[in-house]
Amino acid sequence: MRRSNVRTGIRGIAFIEAVVGIVLLGLVVALAAETMFTYQKSRNQAIDRQAMLWAASGQLQRIAAGAAPDSQPPEDMLPAGISLQTQTQAGEGQWQGFTRVTVTATAMSYGGEKLCEQVSGFMRMEGRP
């Protein structure tokens, strides 16, 4: 009788060790998945911000080349979901005679967060609308 009690005790310990191992493995997998999702969100936001900066820079270059400040780029030139707003302000002090043009690109990230990027430059706007 005594032998069966020892075997039952050993089986019980082995079962507990297996359950603890499975729980620990599940915890490691959950932490790794959370880290991957956080990394993916950060990476997507970095890609979105880069696209917004390129779009704003391109718009600033269009304005410097002679496009009207309130004009929008040709259709299908902007990545989906990015909108551009342009503001102009007269230069002061050493920048008198120039106009400061600020292009703001906005978009919604995959997580629903609003992203904004700005690019500014001074340029001569004489004879332009």
Per-residue pLDDT tens over the stretch 44-96: 889 989 999 999 999 999 999 988 888 888 888 888 889 999 999 998 899 88
Query: How many percent of the chain have pLDDT more than 70?
Result: 89
Q: Residues 6 or more apart from 104 whose CB is under 8 A from it?
A: 56, 84, 85, 86, 87, 116, 117, 118
d(CA 126, CA 107): 32
Q: What is the mean pLDDT of the chain?
A: 87
Q: Which residue has the higher pLDDT, 13 or 108?
A: 108
Paired tokens of 50: 């880069």
pLDDT at 1: 45
Nearest to 91 by CA among 47, 124, 57, 55: 124
